[in-house]
Amino acid sequence: MTHDQWYLAGIMRSLHRYASDALVVVVVLHLLREFSLDRLRGKRFFAWITGVPSLFFIYICGIGGYWLVWDRLAQYIAIATTEWLDSLPLFGQPIANNFLNSMTLGGRFFTLMVFIHIFAPLFMLLMMWIHIQRHARARVNPPKPLAIGTAITLLVLSLWWPALSQGPADLDVVPTELGLDWFYLAAYPLLDLIPGGKLWLIVFGGLLFLALLPWLPPARPAPSAVVSLDNCNGCGRCFDDCPFSAITMVPRSDGKGYDAEAAVSVDNCMACGLCVGACPTSTPFRRTAEIVSGIELPQLPIAKLREETLAASGRFAGAPRVLVYACEHCGADKIDDSKYQVVPIPCVGMLPPSFIDFALSRNLADGVFLAGCADGDCYFRLGDQWTRERVAGTRDPYLRKRVDRDRLQLGHFRSHERAQRQASLAEFSSSLTARADDSPERESS
Amino acid sequence: MKRIARLSMQALAYFVFAAPIAYFASMPSYRYAEPDRTSIKLSIVHTTERVEPCVPLTQEQIAELAANMRRAESCERERLPLYVELDVDGRTVIKSTSLPSGLWRDGHASVYQRFDVPGGRHSIAVRIRDSARSAGWDYEQSTTADLQAGRYFTVTFRSETGEFVFR
């Protein structure tokens, strides 16, 4: 195929193989990333444990695909796989008998393999669908430039180093030297060293261990968001912005004249506070005796956030006064310079834009710095994006136009990027100083 | 200039991503078998005798049965284990006991094993016991064969004729 019709079938075959290998690479990187960022424990266990069976289906698809080529490698895989499966007490008679010699191989075998190679990916797709069920607005497609770049890379690879068959299969001849696809077949040479039953124990033990990682040790989840019906008008902004599908809009239960009210699923709520940031009643400007938002985080209600903002403002010793709202998950505790007063919040997306207006219009600070997670890498999901859009005035609730954007800076950092964070803060601080020096009041005085 | 540098770094990143994929998709090679050896596969699927022999039913007993359940004899389902031995050049290489399949141990008993020997002339003897006898064998057969290096040699059993097949 690669030689006789390289321009269509050959390229497609090579693309198919290298893309399937790239899938393994990307899945392993994804798994390591989510583990290293601790995005698996607590209520996030669901995505983790539903990802584990997906690994199993990926391997069934990949290994099954190699059988279809029916070259020497396929012959080896067929014999090794069936012998390995026969080590499980599942089959009435050895399925390796199907590959005993060239007389025992039937055409129906290939029908079965085609069936498996089509339906295993469908099951994998089903698992992936389940995998993202607790994620609103899950990004299942890569950004277009990355998709194009990857496609071109794999295409170039397919032309430069086409995937080749390894000689026709002959069940009477022992395949000796084989070019294994180590992404899918790395476990197979172990069968020369370990009995099949033990290797199954290792494989399933490993998968079980992987599935149990969210509870090793278990997380202590923060209390879920709570709805205050007296302040909720059922606008649905919290429903729109929740990244974990934890909020649903249900018929009104308190007899007020609104159609709906927000309801929080305790099982899904990650206590990120993005709903608080989205709620139009989350404002420190309210004149009620007790400031309560339509939806609140019990550990950091809006009234407390207002108090902490005022307290931080009171601690400034010199100018410029930079008030930092910093994400707790991206190194807020690492801002240790006394020039900056830090108000830690679970996620920058939790900060209602009105707080920026509050801090600047009430002269509580000369500038406001929002220190969130790295771009597109929000610990919770979407917090950085919603904040950017709210500030830019493209997502409700908007930051009011009267707010001087020069006195506001958004910073996106990974938790270890301490130097970058400090440099960005220093730069912002300098710009505020320069601005103060250039101001008419200063000139006139 | 900046744009060229950025594009170059992107190209490098794609190369770093693709290079291991290209390499590990088929390399390093793996030696599954030595070319000077023959791989012998022994595969026997056989229904052994019942643990308890069937008992003929009397006419009265048959008449007592429902019309669709009438049969000439009554049989317990469980069958005996299958004992298999295989010698190569007088040395016993496989000694196996297999239980019949199924929850009631009433299915086929099977043996499947694979091992390598140096290519060349070898005498091969195989024997099985599928009955309740305590000594001796119910079927046995031997052959001398020129085993070609790099090929499979299979030993199977035809239950219907009671013959072993060396191929």
52-91 in B: which are within 8 Å (CB) of A?
none
Whole-angstrom distance, CA of residue B106 vs CA of residue A208: 34
What residues in A contact B47, CB-CB < 8 Å? none
Interface-testing mutation among B21, B98, B112, with chain A (most A C-beta atoms within 10 A):
B21
What residues in B contact A154, CB-CB < 8 Å? 18
**Of A278, A266, A263, A264, whose CA–CA distance to A221 is shortest?**
A266
Q: Is the pTM above the cut of 0.95?
A: no
State yes or no: cis peptide before A53, omega within 30 of 0.
no
Q: How distant, in Å, are the alpha carbons of A18, A152, A163, B5, B12 from that of A149?
A: 14, 5, 20, 16, 12
Strands A247-251 and A226-227: unpaired
What residues in B contact A173, CB-CB < 8 Å? 150-152
Token digits for A301? 């209600």
B60-84 pLDDT per residue, tens: 989 998 989 888 888 888 899 999 9
Strands B73-74 and A260-264: unpaired
Q: Are A249 and A234 in contact (CB under 8 A)?
A: yes
DSSP B99: P
Comparing A375 with B48, which gets the higher pLDDT? B48
Domain B37-51+78-166 classification at class level:
mainly beta
Residue A325, SS3?
A: strand
Amino acid in position B166: F
Distance of residue A55 Cα from the nearest chain B Cα, in angstroms: 18
Residue B43, SS3?
A: strand
Strand ranges (E), A224-317: 226-227, 247-251, 260-264, 295-296
pLDDT score of A332: 67
pLDDT score of A422: 85
Phi-psi region of B80 (alpha: psi -120 to 50; beta: other; left: phi over 0): beta
pLDDT score of A441: 54
pLDDT score of A443: 45
Residue B110, SS3?
A: strand
Mean pLDDT within B105-133: 90
Fold category of A6-215 in CATH:
Cytochrome Bc1 Complex; Chain C (1.20.810)
* Tens of pLDDT, residue by residue, chain A (445 residues): 667 777 778 889 899 999 999 999 999 999 998 998 888 888 889 999 999 999 989 999 999 898 888 889 999 999 999 999 998 888 878 888 888 877 777 777 788 888 888 998 999 999 999 999 888 888 888 889 999 999 999 999 999 998 888 888 888 888 988 999 999 999 999 998 899 999 999 999 999 999 999 998 888 878 899 999 988 999 999 999 999 999 999 998 888 888 899 999 998 898 999 999 999 999 888 777 788 889 999 999 999 999 999 998 888 888 788 999 988 887 666 676 777 888 999 999 999 999 999 999 999 999 999 988 887 778 888 888 899 999 999 998 999 888 888 899 998 888 778 888 888 888 998 998 887 777 655 444 4
Domains of chain B by residue range: 37-51+78-166
Q: Are B40 and B117 in contact (CB under 8 A)?
A: yes
What is the percent of chain B where pLDDT is above 70? 100
For CATH 1.20.810.10, the residue range(s) in chain A are 6-215
Residue B58 CB burial class (10 angstroms; 0-12, 13-18, ≥19): exposed
